[in-house]
Structure 1
Amino acid sequence: MLKKMILTAIMIACTAGVTMAFDADIKGDLSIDYSSKYIWRGKAISDESVMQTGLDFKIDNIKVGIWGNMDITNDLEERNNFTKVDYYIEYGDKLGDMMKYCIGAKRFDFDIDNSNYVMGTPMATTEVYAGLGMDMMLNPMIKAYYDVDEAQDGMNIRGCVSESMELSDGIGLDCSASVGWTNDKSNEVYWGSDDDAFQDFKANVGMPIAMGDWTLTPNVTYVALLDSDMREADGFYASDDPDYFYAGVGLSTSF
């Protein structure tokens, strides 16, 4: 998987270089984050400390990128391994003065020992998605993801609100909250449930601090599973209280 990540990063860089020759508007983002857990759509991918890295390029209205989650403990015998890598391409634009939309595709590659899970996780799958949002107070956004691969016909719909404010010169506050709903096809693969259900609630608070060309962002996150079947088959440990409160810090830059 590491080789695939490197190759993909090279491809992104090459694409950016070729496009630069045609004077396209190119922007890049790089992020390096530490988190005490990695919870994806309410599912515990890593219940111990992780490092997460992301690199993407935006070429006019098209964004391509790669993102990876690396375990840094040996709790699951995955130390220094990328347990999940995402590859994505997205097109986004505005609709009038207030509305915006996006369409895209994501490839999820998992490199985990499924025996650690109460319910398994596909080793790889692909989703296409579309989103619609508004530039207004709380910036409401809804995205629908449709699986065309392992969890075929699986659908995940996520609604999100977010707000950012400046606390002082160079210091801000970012707040967001989201709720996810999944259909029976997706739940059967990831949770062993054959029902449609609201999946999880997630809230995050971060404090971005400008440091020259970089931004340091300490943050805290709370995740709660909303469905009783999912709570019984949660993550690695099937805990009696599968709600998560965890913290992290991120370092990011744009170029």
Structure 2
Amino acid sequence: MGGARRIWVVLGFVVFGLWLLAGGVRAEEAKPSADFTVDVLSQYVWRGFGLSDDSVVIQPSMTVSYLGAYVNLWGNYDTDEKGSDDANWNETDFTFGYTYDKLPYGMSLDVGGIYYALDGIDDSFELFAGLSATCPKTGINFGLTIYRELSHYPGTWYELSAGRDFGLPWYKATLSLSASAMYLDSDDKGAYPDPDDPNDEFSGWLYLQLGAEVSVPVGRYFTVTPKVYYSFSLSDDADDLIEDGSWDNHHDHFFGGVSVSFSF
């Protein structure tokens, strides 16, 4: 059995085992849920790197969940891809996982994997595990998620996040403010070299991203969400790394757009 296949088998058993532990909800009372979302954004930014340049990107997503287990299919369609001057579907991601929300102190555990099918470069596969909780006094949700790349571009990503939702007095809308910071400990000097020493891998705080979204329900099943983000590097070395890896050669990115979701 190949290494990649072993990973899928192990993750399958982990997710299935955690699903069996979800004893607080009986199967006959639970129903599967589904969400279909399309984002239209001014730029595709992934972990601080701008992966489009002067073009609108369209990012459809579908998530199905049941008893804490979920699968998601996501894609990126660049309407004017740099280097080709044509529209191109250049990425498809498959995410699977399980969320267990019965931990002490209101904490939740989220574990799973992400397979990145990429156009023109090697595909990528990550495992992730995250803990999150909401402070009962402030209503702020705090989280720590660790991603480990296994197949290509090996390295470990540590993400700290915080967010808070505010009810608005119009149309049952909700304002969501968020902040996330990423630390990269790379094992691949080819993909993420240390700008001070090309023979070494990058290790350090990479970027901070701030976000604001306003979710407006439309009827029972639809939600329209305008959104805006600002992402910027956190050190001089991160400046150089993000500039070299971004299609627009910038180390900071201001972008936004709107999403339309259909959930049931």
Structure 1 vs Structure 2 CA RMSD? 1.8
Q: Could you tell me whether the CA contact under 8 Å between 1:144 and 1:158 is conserved in 2?
A: yes
Q: Could you tell me whether the CA contact under 8 Å between 1:71 and 1:78 is conserved in 2?
A: no
Structure 1 letter corresponding to 2:92: V
Q: Distance in 1 between matches of 2:81 and 2:153?
A: 29
Q: Name the counterpart of 2:231.
A: 223
Q: Distance in 1 between matches of 2:34 and 2:71?
A: 10
Residues 204-253 of structure 1 deviation map (CA, whole Å, 9 limit, x = unaligned): 101111111211111110000223234224212434xx211112100012
Q: Could you tell me whether the CA contact under 8 Å between 1:191 and 1:229 is conserved in 2?
A: no
Paired residues for 1:100-119 under 5 Å? 100-112=108-120
Q: Could you tell me whether the CA contact under 8 Å between 1:104 and 1:130 is conserved in 2?
A: yes
Identity %: 23
Q: Could you tell me whether the CA contact under 8 Å between 1:37 and 1:246 is conserved in 2?
A: yes
Q: 1:252 to 1:79 in 2, by over 3 A?
A: farther
State the Cα distance separating 1:97 from its structure 2 match. 4.7
Paired residues for 1:73-152 under 5 Å? 73-77=80-84, 79-94=86-101, 95-112=103-120, 122-136=121-135, 137-152=139-154
Q: Distance in 2 between matches of 1:156 and 1:201?
A: 13
Q: Secondary structure at the residue paired with 1:232? A: helix
Q: Secondary structure at the residue paired with 1:64? A: strand
Between structure 1 and structure 2, the one with the greater Rg is 2
Q: Name the counterpart of 1:253.
A: 262
Q: If the length of structure 1 is used for normalisation, what is the TM-score?
A: 0.81
State the Cα distance separating 1:74 from its structure 2 match. 4.3
Structure 1 letter corresponding to 2:160: G
Q: Name the counterpart of 2:249.
A: 238
Which residue of 69, 79, 84 corresponds with 1:72?
Answer: 79
Q: 1:156 to 1:73 in 2, by over 3 A?
A: same
Q: Could you tell me whether the CA contact under 8 Å between 2:207 and 2:238 is conserved in 1?
A: no
Q: Could you tell me whether the CA contact under 8 Å between 1:157 and 1:182 is conserved in 2?
A: yes
Q: Distance in 1 between matches of 2:191 and 2:50?
A: 11
Q: Distance in 2 between matches of 1:226 and 1:77?
A: 31
Q: If the length of structure 2 is used for normalisation, what is the TM-score?
A: 0.78
